[in-house]
């Protein structure tokens, strides 16, 4: 799809190639117009209203960038107007500033009509510098730095600084047509300015730049057509911006919607043969009791019952609302005190090692093997456990997909799950969990989701067979969201 700027460039290109409006024989030719311009220039020279300039070189065929109608002529910019760069009155003379003569800097150029200028100079500043008062209708262009090619047309008489070149067009040249031509050539002017420490184009380069001159009446028709089309481009720009924003948001919004549907039991159908989440909860509790008896996990305080007010939305009858701590073997955070450093040994992960959503062992600190051996089992990660960031960039969940031993700081929690790891990993990335974390996070410098709040997190629990079908469906659909995002 063409961007608004590309569309504008295309219209300007057609205009300057004589393809935007038809040519009319009764409007004469640019050759005739050029003779009138040359006569006007001679009169202005004779009256000493303009200064004599060096002759411009003839235009070669190699210079002409595109074909123009037979009634047009290629000329140089110096032939169709009087060009002059400005100046800056000496700054240490405060009496030169704050008068009633507008003084424009390139930052004041707006690619449109210039009606107000913030800075001004006095008559004394004008008399003691080489500034020129450019009349209404003068076309201005920036010559230095990042603003090269920026344009304006004066709606008020004004002087300029030396970084700005002003053209007072002769009567055979429409100021607006010149303005739109310069706009169409901005990329070429920028390229002309490249190569130095600070990009710049000189007045000499500008006056030698070639210009396609149509008959005056056609210039005016071209300007009228451009100005008829520009409001339509503005409308297109707004629609394009909305569409681009929608397309940018759509993959992420779709992912959130899919996860939300999954959590509400709307992504796959319920099947009576799958049993109920209540049956699954009994199995999880039985496994926890077995591990407690074997002293592989520690006994924890009972979590509070779930009230109706806590439940954020309705779920199918075969599901159950549960707390994370009830369906996990353990939920523990990492070391609260920075452990002793070692030059080698066991990697010690911090937030930056997991912030991408995967475990990254590059640039880690190390702890000794002896220190690691003393850690409680609930703080030792095993394959298929879940890491969950709880400080700063909280809410990032990471599947432990390595057998390499490691430990981690307190800004990361370790969730040891049982039968529901795959489903739980997806749910922890859902909007519901993000909203919950936002609501319970405390602190000022760095927001933290406390361990108790994490254990109390509500999870909508489906039967195990339905979890597998939800995971399979999400693994089919979520990569499509990723593809859309790319």
Q: What is the pLDDT of residue 485?
A: 64
For residue 89, give both structure tokens: 């009155």
Q: Do 348 and 339 contact (CB within 8 A), yes or no?
A: yes
pLDDT given at position 363: 87
Q: How far apart are CA 38 and CA 24, in angstroms?
A: 23
Laid out side by side, the sheet with 346-349 consists of: 365-367, 346-349, 407-408
Please state the three-class secondary structure of the chain as a single string. CCCHHHHHHHHHHHHHCCCCCCCCHHHCCHHHHHHHHHHHHHHHHHCCCCCCCCCCCCCCHHHCCCCCCCCCEEEEHHHCEEEEECCCCCCCCHHHEEEEEEEECHHHCCCEEECCCCCEECHHHHHCCCCCCECCCCEEEECEHHHCCCEEEECCCEEECCCEEEEEECCCCCHHHHHHHHHHCHHHHHHHCCCCCCCECCHHHHHHCEEEECCHHHHHHHHHHHHHHHHHHHHHHHHHHHHHHHHHHHHHHHHHHHHHHHHCCCCCCCCHHHCCHHHHHHHHHHHHHHHHHCCCCCCCCCCCCCCHHHCCCCCCCCCEEEEHHHCEEEEEECECCCCCCCCCCEEEECHHHCCCCCCCCCCCEEECHHHHHCCCHHHCCCCCCEEEECECCCCCEEECCCCCCCEEECCEEEEEECCCHHHHHHHCCCHHHHHHHHHHCECCCCCECCHHHHHCCEEEECCHHHHHHHHHHHHHHHHHHHHHHC
pLDDT along the chain (486 residues), means of 10: 90 96 96 95 93 93 95 97 96 96 96 97 96 97 92 98 97 97 95 80 94 97 96 91 78 84 91 94 91 86 93 94 93 85 90 91 90 89 94 91 92 89 90 91 89 94 93 87 70
pLDDT at 479: 83
Inter-residue contact 4 to 236 (CB < 8 Å): yes
- In this prediction, residue 71 carries a pLDDT of 97
Q: Is the pTM of this model over 0.85?
A: no
């Amino acid at each position: 799809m063409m961007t608004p700027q590309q569309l504008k460039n295309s219209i300007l290109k057609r205009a300057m190639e004589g393809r935007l409006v038809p040519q009319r024989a009764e409007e004469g030719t640019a050759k005739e117009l050029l003779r009138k311009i040359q006569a006007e220039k001679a009169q202005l020279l004779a009256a000493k209203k303009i200064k004599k300039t060096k002759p411009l070189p003839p235009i070669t065929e190699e210079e002409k960038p595109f074909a123009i109608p037979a009634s047009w002529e290629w000329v140089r910019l110096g032939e169709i107007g009087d060009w002059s760069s400005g100046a800056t009155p000496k700054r240490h003379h405060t009496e030169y500033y704050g008068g009633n003569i507008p003084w424009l800097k390139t930052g004041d150029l707006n690619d449109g009509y210039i009606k107000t200028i913030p800075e001004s100079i006095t008559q004394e500043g004008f008399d003691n510098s080489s500034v020129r008062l450019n009349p209404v209708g003068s076309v201005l262009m920036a010559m230095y730095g990042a603003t090269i090619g920026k344009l304006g047309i004066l709606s008020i008489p004004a002087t300029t600084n030396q970084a700005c070149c002003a053209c007072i067009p002769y009567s055979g040249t429409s100021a607006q047509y010149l303005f739109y031509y310069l706009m169409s050539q901005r990329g070429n002017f920028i390229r002309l300015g490249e190569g130095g420490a600070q990009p710049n184009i000189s007045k000499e380069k500008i006056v030698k730049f070639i210009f396609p001159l149509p008959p005056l009446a056609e210039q005016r028709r071209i300007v009228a057509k451009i100005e008829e089309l520009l409001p339509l481009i503005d409308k297109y720009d707004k629609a394009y911006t909305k569409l681009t924003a929608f397309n940018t948001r759509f993959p992420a919004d779709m992912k959130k919607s899919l996860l939300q549907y999954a959590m509400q039991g709307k992504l796959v159908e319920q099947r009576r043969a799958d049993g109920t989440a209540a049956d699954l909860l009994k199995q999880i509790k039985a496994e926890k009791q077995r591990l407690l008896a074997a002293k592989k996990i520690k006994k924890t305080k009972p979590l509070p019952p779930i009230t109706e007010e806590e439940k954020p939305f309705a779920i199918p009858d075969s599901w159950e609302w549960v707390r994370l701590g009830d369906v996990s073997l353990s939920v523990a955070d990492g070391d609260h005190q920075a452990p002793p450093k070692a030059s080698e040994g066991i990697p010690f992960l911090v937030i930056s090692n997991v912030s991408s959503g995967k475990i990254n062992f590059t640039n880690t600190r190390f702890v000794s093997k002896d220190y690691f051996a003393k850690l409680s089992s609930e703080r030792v990660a095993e394959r298929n456990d879940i890491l969950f960031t709880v400080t700063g960039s909280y809410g990032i969940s990471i599947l432990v997909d390595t057998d390499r031993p490691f430990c981690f700081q307190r800004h990361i929690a370790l969730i040891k799950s049982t039968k529901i790891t795959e489903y739980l990993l997806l749910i922890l990335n859902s909007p519901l969990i993000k909203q919950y974390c936002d609501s319970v996070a405390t602190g000022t410098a760095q927001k933290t989701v406390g361990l108790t709040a994490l254990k109390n997190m509500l999870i909508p629990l489906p039967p195990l067979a339905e979890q597998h079908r939800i995971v399979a469906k999400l693994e089919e659909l979520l990569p499509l969201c990723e593809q859309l995002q790319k």
